[in-house]
Structure 1
Amino acid sequence: MTALSRPLHVEGLQSLADRYDLIFCDVWGVLHNGVKAYEAASDALTRFRDKGGRVVLVSNAPRPGSAVGAQLDGFGVPRTAYDAVVTSGDLTRLAIEERIDRIVHHIGPPRDMPIYNGLDVRFGSVEEADYVVCSGFDNDEEETVEDYRPQLEAMRRRNLTMVCANPDLIVERGHMILPCAGTIALAYEEMGGEVFYAGKPHRPVYERALAVGSGLAGRAIAKERVLAVGDAIRTDIAGAVAFGIDSLMIARGIHAKELGLHEGDLVSDHVQDWVDRQPVRPTSFTEVLSW
């Protein structure tokens, strides 16, 4: 399917499952909302795996995949729902390893520091650093990009490269929409700064996920047998289109408010119209991930 083909509205994953051997599934907004797990989503992925499919969770979490797995345990997402986890945090670690002899300045909360676990990293101020890793806001419930403007200006004066560990602009946490590291990275890019984006929608994370999925299957999996599942047009859907794989968009996710979807509403024609107006389009869409 091309990026401009008309998306198909489906009731659940079951109608699509036989077409695919591998699913790249987003985490936040699809498997959970930052507060609780979506049981129907885990059930759908478990059923897909029971039929012989493989599931690689592909997340823009700025932490290693192992840390995300532990977090999912806490939310109640069963291990039966997925085979492996690939995160932007994993790609960020690779970028750090490539620069291991350089001084890094970190922007982000303490919870993201596992990115550096086991690495002999030297930290420094903006004036001391050779590059910057941005994993998010120190306080995403209160801060805005403007709080970081002086720091970004200092980075720009020194022409520091930023490694963005989470390219998402916003994320859903319960009923709140909060800013992510991608917002800071975008502001820096608009100032003329150089940014390396470690996760979706950029190609490296998909290449890694495909390699992992193929390894699990014991054979090379063709792109036409891969389905990306996600709720964000800018990352999940755009990334799938650019990588050349099909996608299933979850309507009741990050765009639910924009779509005018309220609790109890069903996906209707206006969702189809909204999707049709986007610069990139999913192969199909559904209300929530279910079987």
Structure 2
Amino acid sequence: MTQIITQLADISDRYDALFVDLWGCVHNGVTAYPDAVAALQAYRKRGGTVVLLTNAPRPRTDVERQIARMGVPTDAWDTIATSGDSARSAMYRGIVGTKIWFMGETHDNGFFDPIKLVHDPIKVTRVPLEEAEGIVCCGPFDPHADPDVNRPQFLYAKQKGLKLLCANPDIVVDRGESREWCAGALARLYTEMGGESLYFGKPHPPIYDLARARLTELGRDVPNSGILAIGDGVHTDIDGAMGEDIDSLFITGGLAAADTLTREQPDPDALRSYLEREQATPTFAIGFLR
């Protein structure tokens, strides 16, 4: 049964490393949460290692610059693992071909930057859909448009047998007070239409493999029992943690705030009902990371 806690420090001494979601936990897409930053800083001062584990469809260097602008200081984390780097590795190994139709916004262009994770990467060229061997999806062209606007292109792509590489399995995110569609919504639609979607962020294994590789780079060999995953996405962060057999802390004040009646803390009955409905069993829950 999920235990509601009051602060990260209540349980953090049980774990050597944290896999921490960013959006909805450490920042809201616009600015950092001071209490979350302070909790991570305190955890690191006690000797813990913080891996920021994000479904951002971009290289970790881009995410590092982005969170700095939002006010997340470098002493709140040790390293970053992004779904973008996980997906980029697969793309540069040729998983969707060499000629790519790209879906995303201008700020996603870093996805095609050179990569060090892959030895002898293939040469990838961005082409119109009619010439493509595969699709790379970092997100919608317009994050506020209904995913259904992509049906005509997806029908054509499915008929050609194109695979869609999804660089961000999230369905939606909240940017401040505004909710936006993510690449996961497009991949879900493509799959529903009969196409094949390939996922590389939470809750799928490749991003956790990358996160563990980041720990190894730091000289840390942490068993599953020593890792706590923290996030507000029940079908990304929590499902992913359950699949990897690691403990999890569910942040109820993010995407599930309305369902869990979270103000400072979740309503216990609402939380129980929500988790039963979503068939998820996080180890712990808290309103906000603090």
TM-score band, normalised by the shorter chain?
over 0.9
Q: CA deviation at 1:14?
A: 0.4
Q: 1:217-255 CA distances to partner (integer Å, 9 max, x unpaired)?
A: x24211000000000101000000001100000010011
Whether the 8 Å contact between 1:275 and 1:281 is mirrored in structure 2 is no
Match of 1:269 in 2: 268
Counterpart position of 1:284: 284
For 2:8 and 2:261, locate their aligned partners in 1 and report how far apart those are by CA, in whole Å: 23
Q: Distance in 1 between the 2:270 and 2:286 partners?
A: 10
Normalised TM-score (structure 1): 0.93
- Shift in Å at residue 139 of structure 1? 1.4
RMSD, matched Cα: 1.4
The equivalent of 2:137 in structure 1 is 134
SS in 1 for 2:88: helix
The one-letter code sitting in structure 1 at the alignment partner of 2:69 is: G
What is the 5 A alignment of 1:65-76?
A: 65-76=60-71
Shift of 1:206: 0.6
* 1:23 equivalent in alignment to 2:5: no
TM-score by length of structure 2 reads 0.93
Q: Where does the alignment leave 5 or more consecutive residues of structure 2 unmatched?
A: 116-122
Alignment coverage as a number of residue pairs: 281
1:121 corresponds to 2:117? no
Match of 2:178 among 176, 188, 201: 176
Give the partner amino acid of 1:251: T
The runs of at least 4 aligned residues of structure 1 exceeding 6 Å deviation read none
Residue 86 of structure 2 corresponds to residue 91 of structure 1: yes
* 1:257 partner SS: coil
What does 1:1-291 correspond to in 2, within 5 Å?
Answer: 6-99=1-94, 102-118=98-114, 120-141=123-144, 143-216=145-218, 218-261=219-262, 264=263, 266-277=265-276, 278-290=278-290
Q: How far 1:108 sits from its partner (Å)?
A: 1.0
**Greater length-normalized contact order (CA 8 Å, ≥ 6 residues apart):** 1
Q: Within 1, Cα distance between the matches of 2:84 and 2:264?
A: 35
1:7, 1:276 within 8 Å by CA — same for their partners in 2? no
Q: Contact 2:264–2:287 at 8 Å: present in 1 too?
A: no
- 5+ long unaligned stretches in structure 1: 1-5
Q: Deviations over 1:7-31 (max 9, x none)?
A: 0000011011111001000000001
CA distance in 2, matches of 1:70, 1:225: 29
Choose 13-22 or 270-279, whichever is displaced more: 270-279
Matched AA of 1:234: H
Is the contact made by 2:259 and 2:274 (CA closer than 8 Å) also made in structure 1?
no
**Amino acid paired to 1:220:** D
More displaced 10-residue stretch of structure 1: 22-31 or 110-119: 110-119
Cα distance per residue 1:63-118 (max 9 Å; x no partner): 01110010000000011110011101001210121129610110111110101013
- Cα–Cα, structure 1 residues 12 and 162, in superposed 2: closer, same or farther, change >3 Å? same
* Distance in 2 of aligned mates of 1:124 and 1:52: 48
Q: In the superposition, relative to structure 1, how do residues 182 and 276 fare at CA in structure 2: closer, same or farther (>3 Å)?
A: closer
Q: Distance in 1 between matches of 2:105 and 2:213?
A: 31
Aligned-pair identity in percent equals 37
Residue equivalent to 1:3: none
Secondary structure of the residue aligned to 1:98 is coil
Amino acid at match of 1:184: L
* Distance in 2 separating the partners of 1:19 and 1:96: 37
Structure 1 stretch displaced more, 147-156 or 119-128: 119-128
Q: Distance in 2 between matches of 1:276 and 1:255?
A: 10
Deviations 1:10-64 (A, max 9, x none): 0011011111001000000001011111011011111111111101001000101
SS in 2 for 1:86: strand
